[in-house]
């Protein structure tokens, strides 16, 4: 191996190593690193803070959590008519949707307007005694979590 050939092989080797490094970096760049969908299980509050008569309207998580003598239940705060965000009116104790004028009881039953009932969602309590609502898991209306 003369000096010229040795330097050519070193140069070729350097190009191959550089190409592999660039290819690896491109592969890492192209691979998604984050989940684009928000989590469906959301922590609302400590269980002991949700007593009979408590209503938590969590606009960010889009859930309504209600405390009853028999336990806790949760509903989606998204209007099932066309997907607008509802709001809780403490003075009337009703949930309403400003988009097309629907109103709901605290059990999600429609009182008036074009919408059907609010979706009831599964409630659990985690190991830290926090109420967790699964916004992706609809349950039959009237099923109260009593844990
Ligand atoms: S989106 Fe709520 S009433 Fe139409």
Write out pLDDT tens, residues 95-126. Answer: 999 999 999 999 999 999 999 999 999 999 99
Residue 98, judged by CB atoms within 10 A of its CB (0-12, 13-18, 19+), counts as exposed
Q: Is the pTM of this model over 0.85?
A: no
Indicate whether 11 pLDDT > 90. Answer: yes
Compute the mean pLDDT over every residue in the chain, rounded to the nearest whole number. Answer: 94
Residue 34, judged by CB atoms within 10 A of its CB (0-12, 13-18, 19+), counts as exposed
User: What's the CA gap between 111 and 96, in Å, rounded?
Assistant: 9
111 lines ligand 1 (CB under 6 A): no
| Å from CA of 65 to ligand 1 middle | 20
User: What's the CA gap between 2 and 71, in Å, rounded?
Assistant: 86
DSSP SS3 for 40:
coil
DSSP SS3 for 6:
helix
Write out pLDDT tens, residues 19-43. Answer: 999 999 999 888 877 777 778 999 9
User: What's the CA gap between 39 and 125, in Å, rounded?
Assistant: 16
| Å from CA of 141 to ligand 1 middle | 19
User: What is the pLDDT, as a whole number, of residue 33?
Assistant: 76
Write out pLDDT tens, residues 51-94. Answer: 999 999 999 999 999 999 999 999 999 999 999 999 999 999 99
79 lines ligand 1 (CB under 6 A): yes
Distance of CA 53 to the CA centre of its chain: 25
């Amino acid at each position: 191996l003369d000096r010229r050939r040795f330097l050519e092989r070193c140069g070729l080797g350097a190009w191959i190593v550089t190409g592999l490094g660039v290819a690896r970096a491109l592969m890492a760049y192209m691979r998604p690193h984050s989940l684009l969908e928000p989590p469906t299980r959301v922590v609302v509050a400590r269980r002991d803070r949700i007593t009979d008569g408590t209503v938590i309207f969590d606009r960010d998580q889009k859930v309504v959590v209600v405390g009853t003598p028999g336990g806790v239940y949760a509903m989606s705060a998204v209007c099932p008519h066309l997907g607008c965000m509802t709001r809780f009116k403490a003075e009337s104790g009703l949930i309403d949707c400003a988009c097309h004028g629907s109103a709901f009881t605290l059990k999600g039953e429609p009182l008036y307007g074009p919408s059907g009932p609010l979706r009831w969602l599964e409630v659990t309590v985690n190991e830290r005694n926090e109420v967790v609502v699964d916004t992706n898991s609809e349950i039959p209306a009237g099923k109260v979590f009593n844990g």
